[in-house]
Amino acid sequence: MPPHPQPTAAEYACRRTLNLYKTPTLEGLVTQAAAGRHLQIQVPSPTEASPSALLVRLCEDGYPGWIGLRQISALEPTTDLYHPTEMDRSAIVERLPQVIAFAEAAMAQSNVYLWGGTVGPNFDCSGLMQTAFASAGIRLPRDSYQQEAFTQPIGWDDLEPGDLVFFGTPERTTHVGLYLGEGRYLHSSGRDQGRNGIGIDSLTDLTDPVSQTYYQQRRRPGRVMVSYWPDHPTVS
């Protein structure tokens, strides 16, 4: 079998959905890249280099992961390089109804929780948030702890539809949901303490054990003020 062609362009567009993995042995799904997303090939250290996988970095959120060499055929070299769209809070507010509508439509489909899922119908918690906002042209970072750091902290009494609510331990955020109003939030939760998929829970009515479990793990709400821009000097 002839060797796989090695990529030469600095940036590629995905022809189809790609799975990105945690390790060069392609174990542990960490995220997905939908058709049309852009990525760059990274040069791993000698100890990380793999004869059967490539380290890549998604342009829209800066997220790294490994893909198999067989997936090179799904990459199309492009000179139409990714440029983030700057967006202020007023522009974001206008688009929040679209974000909420996407998340509710995703919930209406048959789905289960998928660690690393960002394409659907199966999502993880932060993947659903990232994709719902992206459907309205608003970019978020990938993981829940990154999303918490990116958003503006607000008080629980200041929550508005379209804000994010974060859960976890005192040391670290592990979960995120989308606030809908009237104490309700939509989220994709796992099997162990959630619904194994997308559902709605409450910050005020704690009669449901899932709502109660997450309520006890509250960290803080956050408000999306701008569209995420990897490597921007104002973004940590």
pLDDT of residue 233: 44
Decide: 31 and 58 in contact? Cβ < 8 Å: yes
- Tell me what pLDDT residue 9 has: 52
How far is the C-alpha of 29 from the C-alpha of 116, rounded, in Å? 5
Q: Which residues contact 32 (CB under 8 A, 6 or more apart)?
A: 17, 18, 19, 20, 116, 117, 118, 119, 127
Q: Mean pLDDT of successive 10-residue segments in the chain (236 residues)?
A: 47 98 97 97 86 95 96 95 95 98 98 98 98 98 98 98 98 98 98 97 98 98 96 52
pLDDT for res 48: 85
Confidence (pLDDT) at 139: 98
Q: CA separation (Å) from 84 to 45, 60, 139, 195?
A: 28, 7, 8, 34
CA distance linking residue 74 with residue 188, whole number of Å: 28
